Amino acid sequence: MKALVVEGGAMRGIFASGVLDGFMEYNYRPYDLAIGVSAGSSNLIGYLSDQPRRSVQVITQIATDKRFFNPGRFLRGGDLIDVKWLIEESNRCFPVDTDTLFSSTPMLAAATNIATGEADYYRLSPDNINQVVEASCALPIAYKSTPCFSGGCYTDGGVADSIPVREAYRRGAREITVILSHPMSYVMPRTRSPWIMKRLFARYPQVADALVKRADNYNASLDFIRNPPEGTTINVIAPPEDFAVKRLTMKRPILEQGYQMGLSAGREHVTQYQTIVEPGVLTQQACL
């Protein structure tokens, strides 16, 4: 089985949006399963619904809006990022082709269960798509709402499993393509003050523990990628070392540069694994 895994990383997801647009130029869809986390989930929706440039437009036109990212609102006790508004506005401006999405490759999104501190993986359906994406993208502290559905309450999937490559393997995938949000040289540092996490998340001790262990878990996924089990192939698409986009980068020229890096990487990947005929054309839309 072939699986596609897409990391999150907030605005760093602009790289994956470019990669997946590169895939769509050539109608490259060899996967039996797709798993996304946080921004990676949103990017996969654009890819699996066959809507080129939807994801990059969501990031550059909507996620840069002060109604989504608002430090002043955060200082007054509100959300730094309004995930629910982002989802609703994205659907208004760039409606998802749900018929294509749900007749395509099965997609899972990871969200962190606040009661267990572990990742739950939900298969997207017409009934849960907005709830699952909100849960997967609900950055702790930055987004104060706690999405609850299907008997659980959730925070960002990246807390428990930023790169669900081991989950793809557990589900039977033996050829896995992973799109990362950091260059391959990146190693996540451990938190220097675990007590801060425990204090901030005193109401949710399992989430605090997951945040304290996040670096170890993240780096274990990288080790799995670099040293896969026998009989398993892992293809990695990662940003170059000069990738300048950070988690909350809002400057459109920097975002556009990151997108172009992803687009080039996606095209290069396809040329290695598929006989090229003619690429399609990526169309631009505007949200009115």
Q: Does residue 69 come out as left (phi exceeding 0), alpha (psi in the -120 to 50 range) or beta? A: beta
- The whole-angstrom separation of Cα 231 and Cα 190 is 31
Average pLDDT in the 246-273 region? 95
- The whole-angstrom separation of Cα 199 and Cα 208 is 8
Of 264, 278, 240, 269, the closest CA to residue 4 belongs to: 269
pLDDT band at 49 (very low <50, low <70, confident <90, very high): very high
Enzyme catalytic residues: 38, 156
- List of residues 6+ apart from 211 with CB closer than 8 A: 140, 159, 191, 197, 201
Output the pLDDT for position 280: 56
Output the pLDDT for position 192: 80
| 268: Cα within 13 Å, side-chain hemisphere | 12
Cβ-contact 15, 239 below 8 angstroms: yes
Output the pLDDT for position 104: 87
Cα Rg, the chain, nearest whole Å: 18
pLDDT band at 204 (very low <50, low <70, confident <90, very high): confident
Average pLDDT in the 160-174 region? 97
